[in-house]
Amino acid sequence: MASITTNTPPPPAAPAPALRRKSTGRAGDKVFLGLSRGSGILLLVLMASIAIFLSVRAGMAISKDEGNFLTTFDWDPAAQKPVFGIAVLLFGTVVSSIIAMVIAVPIAVGIALFISHYAPRKLAAPLAYVVDLLAAVPSIIYGIWGALVLVPYLEGLNSWLDEYLGWTYVFEKTEVGVARSLFTVGILLAIMILPIVTSVSREVFLQVPRMNEEAALALGATRWEVIRMSVLPFGRSGIISASMLGLGRALGETMAVATVLSPSYLISLHLLNPGGGTFAQNIAAKFDEANQLGRDALIASGLVLFVLTLLVNGAARLIIARRKEYSGANA
C-alpha cells in the first residue's frame, strides 16, 4: 500500500467558531458505539457463562463417577455405584464425522468448481440455488429420510463392501441387522454438510482475482490447469474454513443421528455393524429420563464435545496461518 503524504497547513491557534460547533453526527456515533460495544461484551459474557455452567455441572458429575470418565465403556449414572465414560461417544462422534468429511469435502469442492468455473451461466445460478436450498432442510427431515430410505437402500452397498472390502476389517460386517450403523450415519452427515461446504467454497472460488486466472491462461493452461494453478491455491484456506463449518455441524448433529442409529454402548471398528453412539445423540436420547446426576453426566459429555469443537477450529486456524505468506491475500 502506498501511503500518500500531503502538506497540511498547521491548525490555526484559535479555531473559528464554526469548527468548534458540535457536529450533528455525534449522538449517532455514541449510540452506535454503545450498541456495538454492548453486543461485543454480551457475546463474551454468554460464552463465559456457558463455559462456566458446563464446567461446574461437569465437575460435579465427574467427582461422583466411580468409573473412569474418559475410558469407561459404560453409561449408568443411575446405578448404586454410578459409572459413566465417554470413550464410546468420542469414538462414534469422531468416526462418523471423519466418514462424513471424507465423502462430502471432495464432492462439495467438485460441485463448487463446477458451478463457479465449468457450468454455463444459465445452469450455474439455479444449481447454486438448489444447493443452498438443501441447507435449509431441517435435520429431522434428513433423519426420517435416512431411516426410511437410506438405511434400506444401503444394505446393498453394505453387502458389496463386506464382500469385496471385508478384508480391511473396517468394512467387514459381522452382525446381521439393518444398516443403522456409524457408516450410514457418516453418509447421512455427508449429505447434510454438503450444501454448506459447497456454498462457502463456491463463494471463495468466485473471488479468485481475474488476473490470477488470466496469468495461467496466458501461459497456455487448460481449464483444469487454471484451476490447479490459480483457483485451488487461492481457495485453499476457504476450503478449510468451509470444511470446518461442515465438521462443526457433523460433530453436533443430533436429530438425524438419533433417528438413524441404533445405539449401543460399544466400540467396534466394524463400521457396518449396527450400534455405536455420538455425544449429541446420547444426550438427546437420555436427557429426559435422567436423574440429577445423570443430567450432570450428560452435561459433562457435552463439555467434551464443546472442547473437541474448539480444538478442531483451532487446528484449522493453525493450518491456515502457517502458509499465510503464500496465500492469495497478500497478492
Partner 1 sequence: MAKRIDVSGLTAYYSSHKAIEDISMTVEPRSVTAFIGPSGCGKSTFLRTLNRMHEVTPGGRVEGKVLLDDENLYGKDVDPVAVRRTVGMVFQRPNPFPTMSIFDNVAAGLRLNGSYKKNQLADVVEKSLKGANLWNEVKDRLNKPGSGLSGGQQQRLCIARAIAVEPDVLLMDEPCSALDPISTLAIEDLIGELKERFTIVIVTHNMQQAARVSDRTAFFNLAAVGQPGRLIEIDETERIFSNPSVQATEDYISGRFG
Part of the chain binding partner 1 (CB under 8 A), chosen from 25-33, 62-70, 208-216, 299-307: 208-216
Burial call 27-65: b when 16+ CB within 10 Å, e when fewer: eeeeeeeeeeeeeeeeeeeeeeeeeeebeebbeebbeeb
Part of the chain binding partner 1 (CB under 8 A), chosen from 29-37, 86-94, 180-188, 212-220: 212-220
Give min distance, CB of 245 to partner 1, in A.
23
If one asks whether residue 230 binds partner 1 (CB under 8 A), the answer comes out as: yes
If one asks whether residue 206 binds partner 1 (CB under 8 A), the answer comes out as: no
Q: What's the grid cell of residue 254?
A: 443430533
Give min distance, CB of 226 to partner 1, in A.
10
The DSSP bridge partners found for residue 83 are 76
CA 225 to each of CA 115, 170, 217, 221, 261: distance values in angstroms, whole numbers, following the listed order: 17, 36, 9, 5, 42
DSSP 110-137: HHHHIIIIIS-HHHHHHHHHHHHHHHTS
Total residues found in the chain within this entry: 331
Residue 330: count other Cβ atoms within 10 Å of its Cβ.
7
If one asks whether residue 220 binds partner 1 (CB under 8 A), the answer comes out as: yes
Exactly one of 218, 288, 318, 322 binds partner 1 (CB under 8 A); which one?
A: 218
Nearer to partner 1, 137 or 219 (CB): 219
Interface characters, 25-54, with partner 1 (x: CB under 8 A): ------------------------------
Exactly one of 233, 240, 267, 285 binds partner 1 (CB under 8 A); which one?
A: 233
Ramachandran sector of residue 220 (left: φ over 0; alpha: ψ -120 to 50; beta: rest) = left
If one asks whether residue 234 binds partner 1 (CB under 8 A), the answer comes out as: yes
Residue recorded with cell 493452461: 221
Exactly one of 33, 214, 292, 321 binds partner 1 (CB under 8 A); which one?
A: 214
If one asks whether residue 123 binds partner 1 (CB under 8 A), the answer comes out as: no
Part of the chain binding partner 1 (CB under 8 A), chosen from 33-41, 211-219, 271-279, 287-295: 211-219
**Greatest CA span in the chain, whole angstroms?**
91
Give the footprint of partner 1 on this chain (CB under 8 A). 121, 209, 211-212, 214-222, 225, 229-230, 233-234, 236, 325-328, 330-331
